Structure 1
Amino acid sequence: MHFKALLAATAAAVAAVSAVPATAETIAIRAGSVIVNADSEPTGPALIVVEDGKVVAVMEGAAEAVADRVIDLSDKTVLPGLIDLHTHLSGDPSGEFWRAATNPPEWYTLIAAKNARITALAGFTTVRDLGSRTDQVTQSLRRATESGVTPGPRIVTSARTISIVGGHGDTNGFHKHVNDVLASGFTCTGPLECAERVRTASKYGADLIKITATGGVLSQQGRGLEAHFTDAEMKSIVDTAETLGLKVAAHAHGARGIEAAARAGVHTIEHGTYIDEAAAKAMNANGTTLVPTLMAFEGIKKNLGTGFYTPVVEQKIQAVSEFAGTIVERALRYDVKIAFGTDAGVFPHGENAGEFALMVAGGMSPREALASATTGAAEVLGMEDQLGRIAPGYSADIIAVDGNPLADVSVLEDVGFVMVRGRVID
C-alpha cells in the first residue's frame, strides 16, 4: 500500500476506535446501598442503570433489572468515583534526581500508563495531573484512557510545569550542558516571557496551567520556600491563562508566596504549608481553594535520614515537617475552602485514599472529606454537572466499598469495584 494511503487508513481506524462509546450495552448495578453524593445518607438497596458511559437511572429498593449485563454489588456501598486534584502519573518516588539524565521519554510513558491503572483501581476515577516528566506523556495518556486504549482515570493535565529560571521546577543539580539538554522549555523570566509559556502550554494541549509560585521541597535548589515569581509575572500568567479559558494551579509553601499567588488570581494553592491569616484572607477574597496534599508530607517524612534524599532536600523536608500536620487545621480556622489532592508520585500511586484519614485528623468530618474528593473537586475542575455524583446524566464513574465511608473514611482505602466512564476497571 502507498504510504499516504496507509497513513489515511491508519488515521481512519484510530478515529473509528476513538468514536466508539464507552459501552453500547445497558448495565444494571445492584447495590447494597448507594451514597448518591456526599450530602446524602446511604439509600439502602438500589439499582443503578448505566448506558453509553452515563448514569440514566438510580432506583431505590429491589427494582427489576432489565439490562444487557447485571453487576451484583448487593453486599457493598456504592458511591461516586473519587477525584484527586494533584497527581504526577509519570513519576514514582525516587531520591535519585540524576535519573532524569538517564531515562528516555518512553520510560515515563510506560510508568504513566502503569500508574493510571493503579490509580483507577484505588477508586480515583478522575485526576488532575500537575506536572509530567516529559513532553506529551499525559496528553497522550489522557487520550488513551478516554478512548479505552489503556485503563485509567479521566485525566485533566497541566502537562509541563511553568517555573522561574533556576527555581523549583527547573532542572537543577547537573553540569550546565546537562541542565540545558534536560530543560523543559517552560521556564521564564519577566511577564512577557511568562505569558508566552502559558500560550505554548495551551498550544500543546494543557487543560490548565501549573506554576511553582514558591520554592519546593524535592528540587535540588536550596533557595528557600518563599515566592519565586514576581507579582507582575504571576499576574501575567493568570491573565493570559484566563484569556485562553484555562485555570491556574500554584504550588506554594511560604505564606507570602501563597498570598501573592492568591492575589494574582490563581484558582488553587497546592500544599499551602505555611498558610497564615493574611494568606488565607487573600485566598478567600479571590475564591482560591487549598489542595493540602497531606500524603506527600507523610511520604517524604518516611525517608528522612535514610540517604534517600540529598542533604539539601533533607534540610527542606525537616523545615516543613513540623508544619505539615496542621495545614488543614489552620485552613479550617480561617474558613479556607479545601479540596482533595495528594501529590501521588511523591509517595506510591494507589495509596491516594490515605489522604482522607489525614484530613479527618486535621479537623474535617468524614462527610466533608468525601465531599472534597467528589462534589468539591468536581467544582474546582468546572465539571460539577458531570462528576462527583451518581445521578442521571452524570458520567458513570462509580466505586464500591465495604462499610460506610461517612462513618469511617478508612474504608475508602480498600475499593472493591471501579467503573470509569461506564467501563469496569479490572
Structure 2
Amino acid sequence: MRIYRSCVMALGLVAGAGQAATVVTAAHMIDPVKGVLVDNAMVVIGDDGRVQALAAGNSARPIIPADAKRVDLGDVTILPGLIDMHVHLTSDPTLSGYQGLEYTDNFWTVIGVPNARKTLDAGFTTVRMVGSSNYDDVALKQAIDHGYIAGPRIVPATYAIGVTGGHCDATEYPPSVKVPAPGIANSPGEFRGLVRTLRKYGAEVIKVCMTGGVLSKTDSVGAQQLSYDEIKAVVDEAHMLGMRVAVHAHGTDGINDALRAGVDTIEHASLADAESFKLAKAHGAWFDMDVYDDDYILAEGAKNGVFAESLAKEKMIGLKQRQTFRAAHAAGVKMLFGTDAGVYPHGDNAKQFAKMVEWGMTPMEAIRAATSDAAIALDRANDVGQLTPGHFGDIVAVAGDPSTDVRLLEHPAWVIKGGQVVLSPSR
C-alpha cells in the first residue's frame, strides 16, 4: 500500500505534495461571476494547490517564482473546475432494479473508484454526493483526499434519510426479507438523532427524501412522506450543526413544506408551482433539477432492469420537470447544476448543460450554475467555483468558447485539480 501511494503522489494527485508553484496560461478564460470571456489568461497556483495570482487581458503579469512549473494550455478557453451538486458515485445505472442483488455490499464502494475518475476526467473537480450506503462516500472522500485514488473533491451526505416505506427505504421486498435501514426515522426526535449520527460519521450535508420518487418501486412519485414538523426538525438540527439540507422532492406539497421549513436546496423539483417559486425566493433556496437524465432513463432503463413502475413514473414526470425548470428560471428562482449521475453513466455529466440551455438558460447562466453559484450553495464559496486568489487551482479547458456553445464542455481537453494536471491531450 505504501508503494502504491508513493506512485500516486509521484503522479501529482496529492495537492501540495512537494511540487513548486504552477503557472497555467491559456488563450481565453471565462469569469463566471462577471459573466465575461477574457483573453490572455494566466493563473499562478501555489504549492498548496490554491491560486496565488491571476492575470487576464491587459492586466499586469504577476511575478513568477523562479522554480515555477509552466503549463501552457494553448488556444483553449479555461474556466473554474465544474461542480455537480447531485451525484451517486457508488451507483451504476446498468445494474438497476433487482440486478444489484447479485453483488456483495462492498462492491458498490469499489465501483465508486472508476466512477470518481470518470467524473474528474469529465471536468468535474467537486461533487456533492447525496446518498450512499455504508458511508461509501466518506470512504471515497478519504481515499481521494489522501492520494490513494484520483477523483473530485467530495461533499458527502452519507445515507439519504426518510421514513418507513418511503423513497429512501427498501420497498421492493416482501416482509420476510429484512433489510437494514440506518437512514430511516419516523418522528421529529428520531430525525434529530439521525442528523447527529450522520454528522458523527462524516456527513457534511444532509439529504432528505421528502416525497416519493421515480426509482423507488412502490410509492407515488409526488406524495409527501415527511410531515412539516419532521422536516423542520431536520433543518433546525442540521443548521445548528453547521450543515446544509438537500431535499429530494417531486411533489408540490412536499416541496412547499420543505421550503417553509428552511431547506437549502430542492432536488428534482418536478411539480413545483408558483407558490414554490415564491417560497424559494423568499427563503433563499436553490432548485437543483436533473433535466438531462430523463432521456437516458427512457432510452435505456428497461434494458438496465429499471422497474416497470419506475418507467411509468418517469414517463409521467420527465416532461413536467423540464417545463417546471423553464418556469422556475423565468420566475427568478436560483438554479444549480445537478445531474443525478449514477442514474445515467458517470462521466456524461456535462451533457446536462445543453438541456439547461434548451429549457431556458443562457450558456453563461448554465456555466455559473456549475461553478460560482454551486460553490455558494455548497457553502464552499471561498474554496471552489472561481479562479481567484485563495481558491483551489481547479481548471477545465475546452477548445472554443463554451459561453456560445455550451456543448463544448462535454469534451474537455485539459483538467487540472489543485494545480496538478489530471487530464491532457496526451492522456
TM-score, normalised relative to structure 1 = 0.91
Do the aligned residues in 2 keep the contact of 1:139 with 1:206 (CA within 8 Å)?
yes
Aligned 1:74-223 pairs, distance under 5 A: 74-94=74-94, 96-132=96-132, 134-178=133-177, 180=178, 182-223=179-220
For the pair 1:28 / 2:27, whether they are aligned, the reply is no
For the pair 1:55 / 2:51, whether they are aligned, the reply is yes
For the pair 1:399 / 2:396, whether they are aligned, the reply is yes
Determine the structure 2 residue equivalent to 1:4.
none
Aligned 1:199-278 pairs, distance under 5 A: 199-278=196-275
Give per-residue Cα distances to partners, 1:345-365, cap 9 Å, x unaligned. Answer: 001111111111111111111
Shift of 1:67: 4.2
For the pair 1:385 / 2:382, whether they are aligned, the reply is yes
Deviates more, 1:291-300 or 1:54-63: 54-63
Do the aligned residues in 1 keep the contact of 2:96 with 2:304 (CA within 8 Å)?
no
After superposition, the Cα gap between the structure-2 partners of 1:375 and 1:96, relative to the gap in structure 1 and judged at 3 Å, is: closer
Shift of 1:329: 0.8
Do the aligned residues in 2 keep the contact of 1:23 with 1:51 (CA within 8 Å)?
no
For the pair 1:375 / 2:362, whether they are aligned, the reply is no
Distance in structure 1 (CA, Å) of the matches to 2:329 and 2:57? 38
Do the aligned residues in 1 keep the contact of 2:98 with 2:305 (CA within 8 Å)?
no
Do the aligned residues in 1 keep the contact of 2:301 with 2:311 (CA within 8 Å)?
yes
Secondary structure of 1:380's aligned partner: helix
Shift of 1:192: 1.1
After superposition, the Cα gap between the structure-2 partners of 1:192 and 1:394, relative to the gap in structure 1 and judged at 3 Å, is: same
Task: Pick the aligned partner of 2:333 from 330, 336, 340.
Answer: 336
What residue identity is the alignment partner of 1:129? M
Give per-residue Cα distances to partners, 1:278-322, cap 9 Å, x unaligned. Answer: 121222221110001112222212236658422211221121023
After superposition, the Cα gap between the structure-2 partners of 1:151 and 1:165, relative to the gap in structure 1 and judged at 3 Å, is: same
Give per-residue Cα distances to partners, 1:45-76, cap 9 Å, x unaligned. Answer: 23221112011112336958644422121121
Shift of 1:240: 1.1
Shift of 1:333: 2.8
After superposition, the Cα gap between the structure-2 partners of 1:19 and 1:345, relative to the gap in structure 1 and judged at 3 Å, is: closer
What residue identity is the alignment partner of 2:87? T
Distance in structure 2 (CA, Å) of the matches to 1:38 and 1:313? 39
Secondary structure of 1:415's aligned partner: coil
Shift of 1:137: 1.1
Q: CA RMSD in A?
A: 2.4
Distance in structure 2 (CA, Å) of the matches to 1:47 and 1:67? 16
Sequence identity (%): 36
Deviates more, 1:37-46 or 1:135-144: 37-46
Distance in structure 1 (CA, Å) of the matches to 2:302 and 2:202? 40
Determine the structure 2 residue equivalent to 1:39.
34
After superposition, the Cα gap between the structure-2 partners of 1:232 and 1:31, relative to the gap in structure 1 and judged at 3 Å, is: same
Shift of 1:229: 0.3
What residue identity is the alignment partner of 1:54? R
Deviates more, 1:210-219 or 1:55-64: 55-64
Distance in structure 2 (CA, Å) of the matches to 1:248 and 1:152? 24
Give per-residue Cα distances to partners, 1:193-222, cap 9 Å, x unaligned. Answer: 111111111111100100110000001123
Shift of 1:22: 4.6
Distance in structure 2 (CA, Å) of the matches to 1:118 and 1:177? 39
What residue identity is the alignment partner of 2:46? E
Distance in structure 2 (CA, Å) of the matches to 1:356 and 1:20? 28
For the pair 1:72 / 2:101, whether they are aligned, the reply is no
Task: Report how many aligned residue pairs link the two structures.
Answer: 411
Shift of 1:272: 0.6
Distance in structure 1 (CA, Å) of the matches to 2:186 and 2:94? 29
Secondary structure of 2:73's aligned partner: strand
Shift of 1:95: 5.8
Secondary structure of 2:38's aligned partner: coil
Q: Which runs of 5+ in 2 are unaligned?
A: none
Give per-residue Cα distances to partners, 1:25-61, cap 9 Å, x unaligned. Answer: 1211121112233424222123221112011112336
Shift of 1:408: 1.0
After superposition, the Cα gap between the structure-2 partners of 1:340 and 1:23, relative to the gap in structure 1 and judged at 3 Å, is: farther
What residue identity is the alignment partner of 1:27? T
Do the aligned residues in 1 keep the contact of 2:213 with 2:250 (CA within 8 Å)?
yes
Shift of 1:100: 4.0
Q: Which runs of 5+ in 1 are unaligned?
A: 1-8
Distance in structure 2 (CA, Å) of the matches to 1:223 and 1:365? 34
Give per-residue Cα distances to partners, 1:164-208, cap 9 Å, x unaligned. Answer: 101101012123343x2x323111111111111111111111001
After superposition, the Cα gap between the structure-2 partners of 1:196 and 1:37, relative to the gap in structure 1 and judged at 3 Å, is: same
